[in-house]
Structure 1
Amino acid sequence: MQPPRPQYVPHIDGLRAIAVLSVILYHLKASWLPGGFTGVDVFFVISGFVVSASVDRLPPVGGWAGLARFYARRIRRIVPALVVCLLVTAVLSALFIPESWLSETSDKTGRRAFFGLSNWVLASTGNDYFSPRTEFNPYTHTWSLGVEEQFYLLFPLLFLAWLRAGRGRMLSLALFAVATVASLIYAVRLAGQGGQEIQAFYVTTTRFWQLGVGVLLYQAMALAGRFEPDPSARALNWRSPLLLLALCALGYGLWAARPGHSPYPDGLWPVVSTALLLVLLQRHPGGWAGRALASAPMVWVGKLSYSLYLWHWPVFVVFRWTVGLETGVTATAAVLLVLLLAWASWRWVEQPLRHGGRGPNTNLRWVLLGVGVLVLGAGLQSVLAKHGHHVSLSTVSRHPLDWYPYAKGLKREVPDCRVVESSLPVAGGQARLLERGDCAQGKGVDRHVFVAGDSHALAYNELLKRLVVAEGGQVRLYGSGGCALVGLQGWRGPNPGCEAYTANVLADLLATARPGDVVFLPGLRVPRLSDQYTTFDPAQQQAELESDAAVQGRAAEVATAITQLRPLAERGVRIVLEAPKPVLPSPPFRCSDSFNRHNPICAGGLTISRERMEALRAPVLASLQQVADALPGAQVWDPLPTLCPGPVCTPDHEGKPLFFDGDHLSGYGNRVLLPAFQKQLDAP
């Protein structure tokens, strides 16, 4: 006789509702529910429990037929709504989201999401779940679907013995127990190692135990015959200690979980509490807790939970990129749009294909169709990502030659001349070597220019390529984000990675630079007023720049720079230090269109007065001049008069952008500065 098996129980949908609402609330405004991201942990436990129950309810089918049935059911449940959401997200991304540092991993994440691999992409980017690039990636939320889909690849192999009954059940339980414990041990191990937080959060090997707890819970209850409600038991109420313990643990986890401490140890609270609630409410569905979770609103939200989870994140991200998500009006509009899209997805995508008679008539055909749809969807997403600028509503995407310093327009402008680009190994990284290939203009100037600095050095890419085409010679470009040589902001705190980078670059310069060569040292040396994702208080930035710590720090860096650069200068290498360029209160690429111009990040405007900019850079300019005065032949090149010739520094010139974001040059800005830079190089 088969032991009793669970039928539909509405309180599970109620738990799903708690999980998805917690995640949505956290993503809407993290301070409202600081640990709400652990709602995903609740989902994992429920998924393990429910998928076990759904397989065990069906008549046993072994071999390939059993696997085909399992994967066909999973495909019908997951794939249709996922593919629709991912393709709509790809279209919205093409329309509204330009290429940038914030979005550089988005397309790859979306492409891998079709195959349940986005969690591994996110784990490899070096940006955790709580970083800006993650918040502006419309596919970030698919990491948890990737974990579940990878779990489903393993599940039938471990659950197969269970379906054979008898000793097979104990074998299956033992297999899941071993895998669950091993996953938990691995999660604990990574939690004890510094710098492993990103890996621990995303990868399936550290998350398997959360789904495994759900499976083991189902198996234990099935073996004990504990699925039928206990008619002799009293209904759970406020005096039920286990219920209070479970609810307090769940509430504590959703409130107190901390970034960088998931899935262990802060994932323990939602996992243990969810498992305990599943047991209690299965046996004692009566009482206030059962009635609350089984209420019509909670069940309705629970039934829509998959669609709500799919749609809430891309909607929120598109709002962040366009009108913003900070005000009550925009937040309300975003939530209403999520509800509408989720209901439409559930009504016309999920339900017809999951429960209706549409689609193939065999499990194998469903599997083949699902795989084909995923491959086709990924292909369409790739096409949209590659050619989206043709349909984009963003002026940045429509005019890439003006906004991005990639110098892609050179081929059309100078078809008979090209830049030969290669990589050179440097200890701790590499440098880019730019040389002129066969050109009709002849050999040109035999001058070697070494450019070393932070992302601002890399942002001179177009200027340097045009310099090579115009004059010949050779440019060696070193660049690492946040690591300027003579950065003059080291007083903010030590950065061992940058110290190692600058040491390696200086060693390479000493080994390769010869008399008559030029070493150009650009960099961000004043505080930013805006980043690609946020803005900063100008008064606070000015105060920090003038603080005693900053004054002392710059003095120490000046002395260090003179010591490091003197061997080059005494050899006859000309040192050119870049004076600070304008920094803008808002990033132009985020505020360039009618649909994003009123985003809160644009509230500070896009201009800065020349007087205010001069005051901001005065302390740094004085320090740079001290370095130049101490080195024979060294000079300070000031691009500000070219970029800001009037009393107000603007983000554009004659309708074209000078800057991409709050301080990096655009492609057009590179072209505007090139004559001034050439003049500086030719100066005696």
Structure 2
Amino acid sequence: MPTLGVAAVLLARRESLWTASRLAQWLGTRSYSIYLWHWPLVAGLVYFDRQHLGYWVAAGIVLSLLLGDLSYRLVEGPSRRWLATRSRWACLGWLLLALLVVALSAQAVRRSGFPDRLPESLAQVEAQRHNKNPRQDECLKADARCVFGGERVRALVVGDSHADAIVNAIVAALPEAEDGLYFRAESACLFVKGVRWAGKGEREDCQQLLREVPQELADADPRLPLIIINRTSNYIFPQSAEKSRPSFYFSVERSGDDPAFQAEFRQHYLDTLCTLARQRPVYLLRPVPEMPVHVPKAVGRALMRGLPADVSISREDYRQRHAFVWALQDEAASQCGVQLLDPLPYLCDEQVCHGSVAGVPRYVDMDHLSESGNRLLTPLFAPIFAQPAVEPATER
């Protein structure tokens, strides 16, 4: 807005070499009307995912100019001339009346339950967007020590926000109501010894988790299994457009494709898993499929436009994305005896992995399963608890 204001001032200087032309003066007089129209058009381009297409952007610019000209001719100009004939107090009265009309209209909409009039399909989409672990704020932090389910701990779960998004699916796999899980996790924290964080300092929250969890595991009953859930591939090959390098390093910051970096990561990754596997049974979850878009937003927008709503990625795209981590996990299984948990049979068919089915999202965003989506993985975890409960359980 300040930039447009400066432009309007400059264009209003008729004697300037740059602003003396009829085009510059035309833009200057209509700049505010153009500004008012450009924002809803920009929002519309983003809503319909057309902001990356040059011809749509060009059409938006042209439409902003046309609508701005119409507003100037039909609204701004006549209003200015009409108000110029009224006293200051009359202008204030009209302004207050306009504000009163807007406020009363807003209250009428709010009280009428307008949001509840959305189609049921859209209400379901919006519900899934917020269908997260209800204990996320309490337990997804380094200093939290949470027990999910009953008081008799049957397993230990460690990881990052993906662990938080899946832990209740594991709880649902517990055979008895009194069974529970001991949970430690920190958002964006890779559970690998020796990690140093690029651009974030030492990430004391994550370092705390990496220090304390091994100590707790050493004191826990060795018969209790450990389940590790991390979004490992994204730490190496960030999916975010703003990042191009790994979010961590060991000795020197390098590209994720750098053989030296991959060799370092392999050494630390396998060393961490093998050390843990010598103490107790270790289960390692394969990467959860990551969707190319924010699933509830994409599904909701598609439904509003009457288009096919479901989001998915191909199994081949998944394979390429996670090939490096899969190979390391295979190595951990063969060298260390780590047991691998594959979510693909539960989240994918033979061709694609589904972010939504029949217009109902399985994710709350691009990569975190919802509380209903994660229940698809409950049968995957059930065999871990086929043996009778361990007594006594770990101290907490």
Alignment TM class, shorter chain as reference: 0.5 to 0.7
Question: Could you say which residue in structure 2 is the equivalent of 1:608?
Answer: 314
Is the CA contact (8 Å cut-off) linking 2:37 and 2:68 kept in structure 1? yes
| Offset at residue 660 of structure 1 (A) | 5.3
Q: 1:583 to 1:42 in 2, by over 3 A?
A: closer
Question: Could you say which residue in structure 2 is the equivalent of 1:635?
Answer: 339
Q: Indicate which of 290, 308, 313 corresponds to 2:39.
A: 313
- Per-residue deviation, residues 12-52 of structure 1 (Å, max 9, x unmatched): xxxxxxxx8xxxxxxxxxxxxxxxxxxx44735977xxxxx
Q: Indicate which of 65, 69, 88 corresponds to 1:339.
A: 65
Supply the distance in 2 between the matched residues of 1:354 and 1:517 (Cα, whole angstroms).
77
Is the CA contact (8 Å cut-off) linking 2:131 and 2:364 kept in structure 1? no
> For 1:132-211, what aligned pairs fall within 5 Å after superposition?
none
**Secondary structure of the structure 2 residue equivalent to 1:361:** helix
> For 1:256-295, what aligned pairs fall within 5 Å after superposition?
286=15, 289-290=16-17, 293-295=19-21
Question: Could you say which residue in structure 2 is the equivalent of 1:580?
Answer: 287
Is the CA contact (8 Å cut-off) linking 1:531 and 1:662 kept in structure 2? no
Question: Could you say which residue in structure 2 is the equivalent of 1:391?
Answer: 118
| Offset at residue 324 of structure 1 (A) | 0.7
Supply the distance in 1 between the matched residues of 2:33 and 2:145 (Cα, whole angstroms).
46
Is the CA contact (8 Å cut-off) linking 1:531 and 1:587 kept in structure 2? no
**Secondary structure of the structure 2 residue equivalent to 1:670:** helix
Supply the distance in 2 between the matched residues of 1:421 and 1:582 (Cα, whole angstroms).
21
- Per-residue deviation, residues 312-360 of structure 1 (Å, max 9, x unmatched): 1332132122141233432233224323543455456545655534899
Question: Could you say which residue in structure 2 is the equivalent of 1:459?
Answer: 165
**Secondary structure of the structure 2 residue equivalent to 1:459:** helix
Supply the distance in 2 between the matched residues of 1:368 and 1:339 (Cα, whole angstroms).
30
| Offset at residue 642 of structure 1 (A) | 1.8
Give structure 1 stretches of 5+ with no counterpart: 1-19, 21-39, 48-273, 408-418, 437-443, 537-543
1:300 is aligned to 2:26: yes
- Per-residue deviation, residues 570-601 of structure 1 (Å, max 9, x unmatched): 3x5x54321123345555446531649699xx
Q: Which amino acid aligns with 2:327?
A: A
Q: How many residues are treated as equivalent by the alignment?
A: 368
Q: Indicate which of 545, 549, 554 corresponds to 2:265.
A: 554
Is the CA contact (8 Å cut-off) linking 1:628 and 1:634 kept in structure 2? yes
Which of the pair has the greater relative contact order for Cα pairs under 8 Å at 6+ separation?
Answer: 2
**Secondary structure of the structure 1 residue equivalent to 2:283:** strand
Is the CA contact (8 Å cut-off) linking 2:356 and 2:363 kept in structure 1? yes
Q: Indicate which of 612, 620, 625 corresponds to 2:325.
A: 620
Supply the distance in 2 between the matched residues of 1:390 and 1:314 (Cα, whole angstroms).
23
Q: 1:383 to 1:523 in 2, by over 3 A?
A: farther
Supply the distance in 2 between the matched residues of 1:349 and 1:462 (Cα, whole angstroms).
57
Is the CA contact (8 Å cut-off) linking 2:158 and 2:185 kept in structure 1? yes
Q: Indicate which of 484, 487, 494 corresponds to 2:190.
A: 484
1:507 is aligned to 2:204: no
Q: Which amino acid aligns with 1:318?
A: G
Question: Could you say which residue in structure 1 is the equivalent of 2:89?
Answer: 361
Supply the distance in 1 between the matched residues of 2:326 and 2:374 (Cα, whole angstroms).
22
Is the CA contact (8 Å cut-off) linking 1:433 and 1:477 kept in structure 2? yes
Q: 1:664 to 1:529 in 2, by over 3 A?
A: farther
Q: Which amino acid aligns with 2:89?
A: N
Q: Which amino acid aligns with 2:39?
A: W
Supply the distance in 2 between the matched residues of 1:373 and 1:580 (Cα, whole angstroms).
54
Supply the distance in 2 between the matched residues of 1:532 and 1:318 (Cα, whole angstroms).
23
Q: 1:512 to 1:526 in 2, by over 3 A?
A: closer
Q: 1:460 to 1:616 in 2, by over 3 A?
A: same
Supply the distance in 2 between the matched residues of 1:387 and 1:497 (Cα, whole angstroms).
47
Q: Sequence identity, in percent?
A: 23
**Secondary structure of the structure 2 residue equivalent to 1:317:** helix
> For 1:76-95, what aligned pairs fall within 5 Å after superposition?
none
> For 1:96-107, what aligned pairs fall within 5 Å after superposition?
none
> For 1:220-231, what aligned pairs fall within 5 Å after superposition?
none
CA RMSD of aligned residues (A): 5.1
Q: 1:676 to 1:44 in 2, by over 3 A?
A: same
| Offset at residue 609 of structure 1 (A) | 3.2
Is the CA contact (8 Å cut-off) linking 1:448 and 1:474 kept in structure 2? yes
As a proportion of its length, which structure holds more strand? 2
| Offset at residue 509 of structure 1 (A) | 2.6
Q: Which amino acid aligns with 1:502?
A: C
Question: Could you say which residue in structure 1 is the equivalent of 2:250?
Answer: none
1:671 is aligned to 2:375: yes
- Per-residue deviation, residues 537-558 of structure 1 (Å, max 9, x unmatched): xxxxxxx876524531322332
- Per-residue deviation, residues 515-550 of structure 1 (Å, max 9, x unmatched): 25554322222359995889x9xxxxxxx8765245
Supply the distance in 2 between the matched residues of 1:607 and 1:453 (Cα, whole angstroms).
24
Supply the distance in 2 between the matched residues of 1:453 and 1:500 (Cα, whole angstroms).
16
Q: Which has the larger radius of gyration?
A: 1
Is the CA contact (8 Å cut-off) linking 1:529 and 1:584 kept in structure 2? no
Supply the distance in 2 between the matched residues of 1:651 and 1:569 (Cα, whole angstroms).
36
Q: 1:435 to 1:460 in 2, by over 3 A?
A: closer
> For 1:400-479, what aligned pairs fall within 5 Å after superposition?
400-402=126-128, 404-406=130-132, 423=138, 431=144, 433=146, 435=148, 446-447=152-153, 450-460=156-166, 463=169, 471-472=177-178, 473-474=180-181, 476=183, 478-479=185-186
- TM (norm. structure 2) is 0.67
Is the CA contact (8 Å cut-off) linking 2:143 and 2:209 kept in structure 1? no
Q: 1:376 to 1:520 in 2, by over 3 A?
A: farther
Is the CA contact (8 Å cut-off) linking 1:561 and 1:627 kept in structure 2? no
Q: 1:431 to 1:518 in 2, by over 3 A?
A: farther
**Secondary structure of the structure 1 residue equivalent to 2:52:** coil
Is the CA contact (8 Å cut-off) linking 1:591 and 1:597 kept in structure 2? no
Question: Could you say which residue in structure 1 is the equivalent of 2:5?
Answer: 43
Give structure 2 stretches of 5+ with no counterpart: 245-254, 389-396
As a proportion of its length, which structure holds more helix? 1
**Secondary structure of the structure 2 residue equivalent to 1:320:** helix
Supply the distance in 2 between the matched residues of 1:373 and 1:448 (Cα, whole angstroms).
61
| Offset at residue 363 of structure 1 (A) | 7.2
| Offset at residue 606 of structure 1 (A) | 3.7
- TM (norm. structure 1) is 0.43
